[in-house]
Chains A and B, each alone.
Chain A
Amino acid sequence: MATKSLHKSESQLANSKRQLEILSNGIFQNGELPTFKDKIAESNQFPLKAKKLEILQINVGYMCNQVCEHCHVDAGPDRKEIMSQDTMQQCLEVIKNTGAHTLDLTGGAPEMNPNFRWFVEEASKAGVKDFIVRSNLTIIKANKKYADLPEFFKKHNVHVVSSMPHWTRGKTDKQRGYGVFDKSIDALKELNAVGYGMPNSNLRLDLVYNPSGAFLPSNQASMERDFKKALLEDFGIYFHNLFAITNLPISRFLDYLIASDNYEDYMYNLVEAYNPMAVANVMCTNTLSVSWDGYLYDCDFNQMLELPVNSKVKHISEYNEDLLEGRPIVISQHCYGCTAGAGSSCQGTVA
């Protein structure tokens, strides 16, 4: 289990340029596999273009209480990139005027940003239809100061989306760290206790499933059935929906794929599972990702690869939704992760 981020351990994969080289060399350079650009061109889907904005996703910092093996953010306790209150203020101006129906806060553990609560309180006043916070669950149990988060989320009608790689302790702890499973179960019980995830409750609690290894997620609906049955029978826990998300070959997951000699097989799997129907609804076409320092990206993955939006508008301070619409999406081979099988996005499958 990792204890340090790639950045802290000065791994060469902490460098996004090195990651992009790996994703463009080898099997993609020698023609063994088609590049993502060539693949989408086969179905006349190149260049991918941004449609009307639906989801504004804001990454409020890379600091996290966990160091998950598959993390595409390379988040951890040693990451110091945190969104300032000034940048949050700039985001709030945008949130008040956006046409997006969903506001999605992510991290790291977003709750670790010292201005997180202020930001949620202010943002919730804007009346965005769906206000998501991506919470890793264990943060609720990490320190007394976070213990009231379930009540805080409820007060602001936040839609909680949480990661849970498996319904068994072994698989969960292997991916996310020793003890994570038990803490996550306790946190889910506390969320249920205030009404989150209960049948017919308006307090939305969804879980995210990421495979705990070099394989793709299975059918989202059947995984949801298995998760629901196991969590209810074993722990009396309820939740609403399960989002099955494919691990993209970047950052720590790329490091794992290479170290375990699974990289080529995994890329083959992604390319073989390529689904042109998923391309039509891929999340970068309706989402905008804002980084901790206010820069704009087509998605959280491009943010981590330091591939900014291809638009005149680069920063939240100069935000203009009309100008951003229609921009060509910046792509590389990691994009195969979002078009495999039923597709993958931060909201689950897309096809």
Chain B
Amino acid sequence: MSKTYYDPADLRKFGKITEWSEELGNKFFDYYGKVFEDGALTAREKSLIALAVAHTEQCPYCIDAYTKDGLQRGITKEEMIEAVHVGAAIKSGATLVHGVQMMNKVNKLDM
């Protein structure tokens, strides 16, 4: 067994997921490929969304993959960090908005 839970080289093996369930694996990769095609959103915009979500999901494979994808697309460092801040803002906002629940509970319980 590997000594760490995450190994950067495992990202290369992602496609092998299909070997243990060809039907589901292929369906996933077909879907995945379709999602990232140019559509109402450009593939470039989708790449930046994926980069932001990769951070909020804290998926190291996804961060590696979409940082490289961004570089390939000519996306600048400035655009990448802004996308990461969007993710961070939603994450912190999602934490903070729960403060309303805390306030509601205090107001209900406190005399």
Contact = CB atoms under 8 A, between A and B. Distances in A.
A268 interface: yes
A185 interface: no
A265 B42 CA distance: 27
Contacts of B74: 166-167, 218, 223, 226-227
B72 A268 contact: no
Contacts of B68: 215
A217 B73 CA distance: 7
A217 B69 CA distance: 10
A276 B71 CA distance: 25
A216 B12 CA distance: 16
A150 interface: no
Interface string A213-230: 101111100110011000
Nearest to B71: A215
Contacts of B42: 222
Interface string A233-264: 00000000000000000000000000000000
Nearest to A165: B74
B44 A211 contact: no
Interface residues of B, number: 11
Contacts of B12: 265, 268, 272
A292 to B, nearest CB: 33
A226 B76 CA distance: 12
B44 A222 contact: yes
A168 B76 CA distance: 9
A213 B76 contact: no
Contacts of B71: 211, 213, 215
A218 B73 contact: yes
A52 to B, nearest CB: 34
A216 B72 contact: yes
B46 to A, nearest CB: 12
A270 to B, nearest CB: 12
Contacts of A166: 74
A226 B47 CA distance: 15
* Most chain A CB within a 10 A radius of its CB, from B43, B68, B72, B73: B72
A217 B72 contact: yes
A217 B74 CA distance: 9
Interface of B: 12, 42-44, 68, 71-74, 76-77
15 contacts: A166-B74, A170-B77, A171-B76, A211-B71, A211-B72, A213-B71, A215-B72, A218-B72, A218-B73, A218-B74, A222-B43, A222-B44, A223-B74, A265-B12, A272-B12
